Amino acid sequence: MAAEQGASLLRWWAGAFVLAVGFAALGVVAIDRLSDAADPRATASPDPGRPVLTEVAGVVETTPPTTTAVTTTTTTSTTTEPPPPIRTAELVFGGDVLSHRGVVRQAAANGEGGAYDFGPSFELVAPRIEAADLAVCHLETPLSPDNSDLSGHPTFNVPGDLAMGLAGAGFDACTTASNHSLDRRFEGIVATLDVLEAAGLAFAGTARTAEEAATPLVMDAGGIAVGQLSYTYGLNGFRIPADQPWSVNVIDVDRMLADVEGIREAGAEFVVVSIHWGTEYRHEPNEEQRVVASALADAGTIDLIVGHHAHVVQPVERIGDTLVLFGLGNFISNQSVNCCAAGAQDGVIMHVHVQDRPQRDGFETWVTHTPTRVDRSDFVIVPVSDAIAAGGRGSLGLAELERSRDRTQAILDPDAEPSVGERLRVTEQR
């Protein structure tokens, strides 16, 4: 009996032990699950780097961590270069610089110690010239290097001091091919270009050597490379020396177009061709001007044609893409109605504005202008609009100035109100 009771007691303690072990195991799982719930890294999607505990029939199994492949995507960005800035430039051109004896006498009176001072003649228009990116004059006469052996019409030789006056007024260069280029023969060309060079003025149209004649004149204007060429219709009966055929440029369309090609090869982006042509004192272009202008424009390689010689203002037109200023009148001279025409005292400073075309090659161009008249009492070039606003200037009365303004306006833009600084409406010729 006692033995059976002892065995029964032993079985009871064994069962209690098994139950205790089972409850202990369940407690471990519960504690682990509570710990996972408190850990912020425990989510519905297991952390791939942490073991997963799973209860299977009271046994805790460990599942090895999973590995997730990470794919890195590289984004390549394309850098677009900004468009180049649009370049703009203002080019200024004046009419004939024709120093008759009266002009020279006034310069002598202005000067001291035997010098000729042309500065006062230009002082009223100098601010407009100096403001340009590039300013080009048309020197019609030879220059004397030492102010000696002077002469006037019909075979000129004027003081070399004129070159300093032009440079002081703001001009950067002068065109020199005219009917007076050989007034002092080839030696006069050499002397003239020596004087211009000493004054810091570039030149085109005549040359001292074959090498100089073959060297294109390309100048900078607001970052735009401007090529300048110059030609004349004739030489007042003088012949170009046989051994210096390159000394003066004369009108020959084929040769001119070849020169244009050459100056573009030398780097010119904007090409200006100045031409001494036309019928004196006639406002309308003559047949030669029309034919030559059309032939040059048709080539499509010339941007601007600037005309001289008529001594009166002539129209502005556009032939194809070429802007044509047929005649700028006189910048300075002693001509007047007494000898020539009422319009011979008139002139116009042309302001040609050049701008890159943003959508295609080439340039957009437009024109503004400053009408001028020479006051022959002291040979000062007078901006007409300024003198009208002042009620007159020197020997120029208000009525004379208004007639000068109206005469120039009728040639350049007859349907517009006279207004300086506004774009000229240019006749299109296609």
Per-residue pLDDT 10s for the chain (430 aa) are 444 444 444 454 445 444 443 444 444 333 344 344 444 444 444 444 444 434 333 333 444 444 445 555 555 556 677 778 899 999 999 999 999 999 999 999 999 999 999 999 999 999 999 999 999 999 999 999 999 999 999 999 999 999 999 999 999 999 999 999 999 999 999 999 999 999 999 999 999 999 999 999 999 999 999 999 999 999 999 999 999 999 999 999 999 999 999 999 999 999 999 999 999 999 999 999 999 999 999 999 999 999 999 999 999 999 999 999 999 999 999 999 999 999 999 999 999 999 999 877 899 999 999 999 999 999 999 999 999 999 999 999 999 999 999 999 999 988 776 566 678 888 776 5
**For the chain, how long is the longest CA-to-CA vector?**
170
Identify the bridge partners of residue 276 per DSSP, sorted by sequence position. 232, 308
Which is nearest to 89 in space by CA: 302, 370, 355? 355
Q: Determine the Cα–Cα distance for residues 383 and 405; give it in Å rounded to an integer.
A: 10
pLDDT at position 21? 39
Q: What angle do CA 93, 96, 97 make, to 5 degrees?
A: 100
Residues 307, 311, 412, 324: what is their CA dihedral angle, to the nearest 10 degrees? -10
pLDDT at position 34? 38
Q: Determine the Cα–Cα distance for residues 216 and 211; give it in Å rounded to an integer.
A: 10
pLDDT at position 218? 98
Which tokens in the block code for residue 37?
Answer: 């719930």
Which is nearest to 174 in space by CA: 121, 96, 264, 266? 96
Which is nearest to 180 in space by CA: 232, 252, 245? 232
Q: Are the C-beta atoms of 151 and 99 separated by less than 8 Å?
A: no
Backbone angles phi, psi at 321, to 5 degrees: -100, 5
Q: Can you tell me which residue has the tokens 């090409």?
A: 271
Q: Determine the Cα–Cα distance for residues 128 and 282; give it in Å rounded to an integer.
A: 27
H or E element that contains 254: helix 253-265
Q: Determine the Cα–Cα distance for residues 419 and 279; give it in Å rounded to an integer.
A: 28
Residues 365, 368, 374, 379: what is their CA dihedral angle, to the nearest 10 degrees? -70
Domains and CATH numbers, the chain: 13-63 (no CATH), 88-429 (3.60.21)
Model pTM? 0.81
Distance, CA of 137 to chain centre: 19
Which tokens in the block code for residue 306?
Answer: 């600037």
